[in-house]
Amino acid sequence: MVEVTDVVCSLCGCVCDDIVVEVEDNKVTKVKRGACSVGKSKLMGHNRIKSPAIRVNGELKDCSYDEAIKKAAEILAASRRPLLYGWSSTVCEADKVGVELAEELGAVIDNTASVCHGPSVLAIQDVGLPSCTLGEVKNRADVIIYWGANPAEAHANHMKRYSYVSKGFWTEEGKKAKKLVVVDVRATKTSKMADVFLQLDQGKDYLVFSALRAILYGHEDVVPDEVGGVSKKDLLETAEMMKGAKFGATFFGMGVTHTGARQNNIVNAIQMTRAAHTHTKFTITPMRGHYNVAGINQVCTWETGFPFAVDLTRGYAWYNPGELSATDLLIRQECDAAMIIASDPGAHFPGESIKHLAKIPVIQIDPYPNPTTEFADVVFPVAVSGVEAEGNVYRMDNIPIRLRKLIDSEYPEDEEILKRILDEVRAIKEKEGK
């Protein structure tokens, strides 16, 4: 038995890196400390895709990696409008090969941000993002706001490691000396901990951000008695709390990015932060979901110039979310082939998009079977990054951390599969004289 410390979790955007596990006979046998229950489950391992496979007469039939790579490359090389989607639950090294493959194919490359914090990216492109690393929040923040986010269940270590419950340099008393504000449409495990819980009406976030902005800029007279289901009294109390903070930190989640005014919600959330900044230090940070969704946005940006929804048909990058994001392309039935890696649109995309995915050839690269596997035509099982493979990832605050390899795997890494597909595509194109 070997004890491994400083293990980095490859589950959510918290990317906890102080986990201790035991490894015996090339298996993670125990997670001793540091991980939440979901992270623990990932580290311990669970059901896997067993073999590469190709769908024949409606059934997935096991095959060799060589056969699967040949088939995948044929599909992609023959496609007139391929979509390469996912990329958030793998490492940056694989993402880089993904961008190169998209460039070679003239494909559209998109990542899970487009159905997640894509609206946040649009808002940042409008107004910017006054933010900080999570350690800044830990050491300084005395007012924490979670808006449309439920970290107690979705990012289970977030409050403990970085925010409300953590203890840092100027916050050594921990939560006793902090205020927690939770804004949500329903009571959650997180809201039960809050000093102030603003329960707003579904889809009314924009109005509530506006009301707080107005108050923070000294225009409380224009705020009516109730805004979006929240009383003016509660809004005034929240604004006072924000003004009185030494350091305030807002975290926001899916509850605001994909409801009501979507990206405009986030523009308003950022404007609220700017307003608070006229009184004291205030920051705002998106609660990124997948452990490396921030990373694919980084890689895609430094290589193509743009973070998601990038069309490479022209040979250079053309960015237009809403037109070129995966769901939109699929709803318009524009793609004639798709490669899905490290994500599961089968479970998360709108029905219309999935219907089209089911009709076209789909290549899947993933350690685990999921609803996407049900209609995938070529399937590659791969090593689990952070357990069986190492590589770089970006935490939700864009801090890069290297995942550790804990055990050997019988499966190849994402990067290797992608490189082999890229080589095969190039070989086909060369043969065809393209």
Partner 1 sequence: MAEVLIKNGVVYDPLNGVKGEKKDICIRDGKVVAEVKNPKVIDAEGRVVMPGGVDIHSHIAGGKVNSGRLFRPEDGRKGVEAKTKVCRMQSGYSVPNTFATGYRYARMGYTFVMEAAMPPLAARHTHEELVDIPILDNAALPLLDNNWMTMEYVNGGDMDLLAAYVAWIMKATKGFGVKIVNPGGTEMWGWGKNCSLNDTVPTFEVTPAEIIKGLAEANEKFDMPHSIHVHTNMLGHPGNFEITKETYDLVKGIKPAKDRQVMHTTHTQFHSYGGTNWGDFESKADAIAGYINQNDHATIDIGSIILGDTTTMTADGPMEYSLYQITGRKWTNHDVELETGSGITPFLYSGKSPVNTIQWAIGMELALLVEDPWKIALTTDHPNAGPFIGYPILISMLMSKKRREESSADMHKVIYDKALLPSIDREYDLNEIAIITRGMTAKALGLHEHGKGHLGVGADGDVAIYDMTPEETDAGKIQKAFLNTKYTIKGGQIVVKDGEVVATPAGKTYFVTPECDDKLTDEMMVKLKDKFDHYYSVTLNNYPVQDAYVPNPYEIKAPWRS
Selection from 185, 201, 212 nearest residue 272 by Cα: 212
The span from the CA of 33 to the CA of 19, in Å, is: 6
- The nearer residue to partner 1, 241 or 354, going by C-beta atoms, is 241
Which parts of this chain interact with partner 1 (CB under 8 A)?
5-6, 8, 17-18, 92, 96, 100, 103, 121, 124-136, 138-140, 161-162, 167-169, 246-247, 274, 277, 280-281, 283, 297-299, 301-307, 312, 314-319, 390, 392, 394, 398-402
Closer of 185 and 428 to partner 1 (Cβ): 428
> Smallest gap, in angstroms, from Cβ of residue 259 to partner 1?
23
Integer-rounded Cα radius of gyration of the chain:
23
299-315: b (≥16 Cβ within 10 Å) or e: bbbebbebbbbbbbeee
Q: How far is the CB of 313 from partner 1 (least distance, A)?
A: 10
- Burial of residue 434 (CB within 10 Å: 0-12, 13-18, 19+) is exposed
Least Å distance, CB 341 to partner 1, is: 19
Cβ 270 to partner 1 shortest distance, Å: 9
Sign of the four-CA dihedral 348, 337, 11, 41: positive
**Residue (83 or 134) nearer to partner 1, CB:** 134
Question: By C-beta, is 207 or 324 nearer to partner 1?
Answer: 324
Closer residue to partner 1 in complex, CB, 171/238? 171
Say how many C-beta atoms besides its own lie within 10 A of residue 187's C-beta: 12
Report the C-alpha gap between 126 and 262 in whole angstroms: 13
Q: Smallest distance from the beta carbon of 187 to partner 1, in angstroms?
A: 29
Kindly tell me which of 170 and 408 has the beta carbon lying closer to partner 1. Answer: 170
Q: Give the nearer residue to partner 1 in terms of CB position, either 248 or 369.
A: 248
User: 172: helix, coil or strand?
Assistant: coil
Contact indicator for 339, 355 with CB cutoff of 8 Å: no
CB of 116 to partner 1, least distance (A): 15
Could you count the other beta carbons within 10 Å of the beta carbon of residue 431?
A: 9
Q: Which CB, 175 or 281, lies closer to partner 1?
A: 281
- Nearby residues of 7 by Cβ (< 8 Å), 6 or more positions away: 17, 19, 20, 21, 34, 43, 404, 406
Smallest distance from the beta carbon of 300 to partner 1, in angstroms? 9
**218: exposed, middle or buried (C-beta count within 10 Å: 0-12, 13-18, 19+)?**
exposed
* Cβ atoms 381, 62 nearer than 8 A: no
For residues 234 and 390, which CB has a smaller minimum distance to partner 1 in the complex?
Answer: 390
Tokens of 128: 């910017």
305 or 350: CB nearest partner 1: 305
Smallest gap from residue 88 Cβ to partner 1 (A): 16
In the complex, least distance from residue 65 CB atom to partner 1, rounded to whole angstroms? 24
* Minimum distance from residue 302 beta carbon to partner 1 (Å): 5
Helix axes 263-277, 205-216, angle to 10 degrees: 20
67 burial level (CB within 10 Å; 0-12, 13-18, 19+): middle
